[in-house]
Amino acid sequence: MNPTIELLTAHRSIRAFTPEPIEQAKIETFIKAGQAAATSSFIQACTVIQVNNQQKRAALAEYAGNQPYVVSAPVFLVFCADMHRHKIACDLHHADMQSGFTEQFMTATIDCALFAQNVAIAAESEGLGIVYIGGLRNQIANVSELLGLPDKVYPVFGLCIGYPDQNPEVKPRLPLPMVLKQDTYTDAQDTALLADYDNEIREYYRNRTGGNKEMSWSEQISGMLVKEARPHMLSFLQSKGYLLK
């Protein structure tokens, strides 16, 4: 394995940071690395809001379900799917922009994810730690208002960046044959593979918590999926001009 693949494979989320600041020039380098990611039909539909204001940070931490590292991380970024600038481009050419298509929601959201993953890797390659904050979507309308996001811009997730003040283990992932299939989707082996993996994850939590937590992957997932998942999402996104058709 080369050093880049080693870096990718060693990822774990970091939720405790030292107070050491990060130079702005470095952040800008990470953002440029993010921009360099592939973008669907060159649409470049990602905008990043760097949140420095401490009151805004505190509000965002609360919106995310009280995640204190949203405040304590030296850098906090919000990745926004952005088709507002495409409206500017269309207006410039007196073109009647066709919007609201589900496909556009997908390309803008995927653009953000590819961009963000490059930022995350760039940061990690400099010895920094990161954690994605999907919890911003708990109160997505409040996040959007706090950051002044216009029509056709929505916050996809946040990203904390800072020097790690913890050293968690890498969490074991699903067995390879469950996630890499040849030519056709088949789940013939998946139940057996899942049983092995469930044991592995149970063991992982047991070791990590000194025996206090014992939960398999399927238990964790099934416990989560019996509940509604952010049921406000569709109407919020539609209010922003997405997923209308």
CB of 127 to a copy of itself, least distance (A): 10
> Of all helices (H) and strands (E), which one includes residue 124?
helix 102-125
Q: Residue 175 in contact with residue 218, Cβ under 8 Å?
A: no
d(CA 202, CA 211): 10
The single residue among 2, 66, 167, 212 that binds a copy of itself, judged by CB under 8 A, is 2
Among 16, 71, 97, 141, binds a copy of itself (CB under 8 A): 97
Q: Does 160 bind a copy of itself (CB under 8 A)?
A: no
Binding of residue 143 to a copy of itself (CB under 8 A): no
Binding mask 118-137 for a copy of itself (x = CB under 8 A): x-xxx--xx---xxx-x--x
Region of residue 143 (phi > 0: left; psi between -120 and 50: alpha; otherwise: beta): alpha
Does residue 185 belong to the site contacting a copy of itself (CB under 8 A)? yes
**How many Å apart are CA 163 and CA 24, to the nearest integer?**
15
d(CA 43, CA 89): 11
Chain positions 4 to 23 lying near a copy of itself, rule: CB under 8 A, are 4-5, 7-11, 13
Amino acid type, 137: R
Tracing tokens 């204001």 back to the chain, one arrives at: 53
Q: Does 141 bind a copy of itself (CB under 8 A)?
A: no
For position 68 contacting a copy of itself by CB under 8 A, the verdict is: no
Count of residues near a copy of itself by CB under 8 A: 118
168: contact with a copy of itself by CB under 8 A: no
Residues of span 196-215 touching a copy of itself by CB under 8 A: none
Q: Of 31 and 72, which CB lies nearer to a copy of itself in the complex structure?
A: 31
For 222, the token pair is 């099934």
**208 in helix, strand or coil?**
helix
